Homo-oligomer: A and B are copies of this chain.
Amino acid sequence: MGEQGYGAVGVIGLGSMGLGMAQSLKRAGFETIGCDVSAAALERFAAEGGGTTQAAAELGPQCEAIVSVVINAAQVEAILFGADGLAAAMRPGAIFLACSTVPPTFAKQTADRLAERGVLYLDAPISGGQVKAAEGALTIMASGSEAAFAKAGPVLDAMAETVYRLGDEAGQGSSVKMINQLLAGVHIAAASEAMAFGIKVGIDPETLYEVICKSAGSSWMFQNRVPRILTGDYHRPQSTVNIFTKDLGIVLDTARQHSFPSPLAATAHQLFTMAASAGMGGDDDSSVARVYERLSEIELPGDH
């Protein structure tokens, strides 16, 4: 028995975002079942009284809504349509909320395939980080049919502070998220280039941060990520380099499909790729600053 007679809700992928979202759903009164390949992740949620399973397909018969917070499109594809796939096990009329950042075309195609089985799909990429996930205060960039929004409503309310309703087709939410990631990725890389260059020409980095935050060169990412550069805090990632090689990869793939030039996204993607290539893929995404350090005679702040 869930909130207001709503059926059980499954959450696939109990990483830092998914766990917080599952906690928010549970707190809102939903019977919540977490699914992850990691036994440790499941134990964490079980300890809080949550339901658990390692097999996504098992969620199918039980759940009215399934929230997917896995890494990428390949994982969504495997979970839904791979061996022992979830798609075949879901109830007609149930909904799949796809919260990963995926290519817009993948979102559209997946929605169409689930529609053939009578399963609803909400294109629902998320933004806000793990703290807001745990608070049920995410931003969700959503698109989908009237029926999908109606079915997803109570679930969205439990997870999000802001739900943008961006269109009546899957893919539109993912398109807006993609553009956000283009900007976010370029801005993190630009913050790294700027701080590293400032240090190279002899500016005190704390002063530079303070002045830029109040000037026309500021960005949300500059304000959010540069403090990690100032303390050398690269090994407790809130978001990793690998996320941006992936998300800027989606930007570049989609741009290529449209024959659309994206020189800044391409340059930023190369910088994140350099960081990943240097072994920093699992580190905080502000590690792009360490690429500049490794290539020059500067010393970044902190002990990293």
Contacts and interface: CB of A to CB of B under 8 A. Distances in A.
Contacts of A207: 164, 166, 176
A220 B221 contact: no
Contacts of A127: 215-216
A264 B186 contact: yes
Contacts of A166: 203, 207, 211
A269 to B, nearest CB: 11
A259 B197 CA distance: 11
Interface in A147-185: 162, 164, 166, 172, 175-176, 178-184
A262 interface: yes
A268 interface: yes
Interface stretch (A18-26, A39-47, A187-195): A187-195
Interface residues of A, number: 63
Contacts of A175: 198, 201-203
A245 to B, nearest CB: 16
B263 A200 contact: no
A180 to B, nearest CB: 4
B215 A180 contact: yes
B186 A208 contact: no
Q: Say whether chain A's binding surface is mostly helix, strand, loop, or mixed.
A: helix
A197 B260 contact: yes
Contacts of A139: 214-215
Given A139-B215, A194-B179, A260 B208 contact: no
Given A175-B198, A189-B264, A190-B264, A180 B220 contact: no
B264 A211 contact: no
Nearest to A188: B216
Contact of A180 (B164, B182, B216, B251): B216
B172 A203 contact: yes
A295 interface: yes
A254 to B, nearest CB: 7
B176 A182 contact: no
Given A198-B179, A261-B296, A218 B217 contact: no
A208 B81 CA distance: 32
A104 interface: yes
Interface of A: 104, 127, 139, 141, 162, 164, 166, 172, 175-176, 178-184, 186-187, 189-191, 193-194, 196-198, 200-203, 207-208, 211-212, 214-222, 224, 251, 254-255, 258-265, 267-268, 270-271, 292, 295-296
List of 4 A-B pairs having minimum Cβ-Cβ separation, nearest first: A183-B217, A219-B219, A180-B217, A186-B190
